[in-house]
């Protein structure tokens, strides 16, 4: 892994953020920014802000970002739950113990 970081610029909610990242994090970081941008567009379309509001949609952006963060966090938790192998490992350990006990009895 290259230990040197380099600068990229990510745009989220009409603001550009400079980020120092490792080369192997670039693709994931850019994909994450695209996901956020897509979610914000969905919320902007579904819940538009009145034209009387701030042209940068400051209040809307805050609400849309909050909902996007919540949605992405829910997805992350769902993925963690799906990838939790603990119940399987416990069941395999139970079966191993039963098999070992049976084999001991057969000696």
pLDDT in tens, 18-72: 999 999 999 999 999 999 999 999 988 888 876 555 555 566 778 888 889 999 9
- Residue 59 and residue 67: Cα distance in Å, rounded? 13
Residue with token string 């990510």: 10
Beta strands in 1-107 (DSSP E): 5-12, 15-22
What's the pLDDT at 32? 93
Three-class DSSP category at 95: helix
**Predicted model pTM:** 0.64
């Amino acid at each position: 892994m290259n230990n040197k970081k380099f600068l990229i610029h990510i745009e989220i909610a009409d603001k550009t953020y400079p980020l120092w990242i490792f080369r192997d994090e670039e693709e994931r970081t850019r994909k994450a920014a695209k996901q956020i941008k897509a979610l914000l567009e969905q919320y902007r379309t579904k819940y538009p802000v009145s034209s009387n509001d701030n042209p940068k949609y400051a209040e809307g952006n805050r609400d849309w970002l909050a909902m996007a963060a919540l949605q992405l966090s829910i997805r992350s938790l769902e993925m963690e739950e799906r990838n939790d192998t603990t119940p399987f490992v416990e069941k395999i350990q139970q079966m191993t113990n039963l098999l070992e006990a049976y084999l001991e009895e057969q000696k």
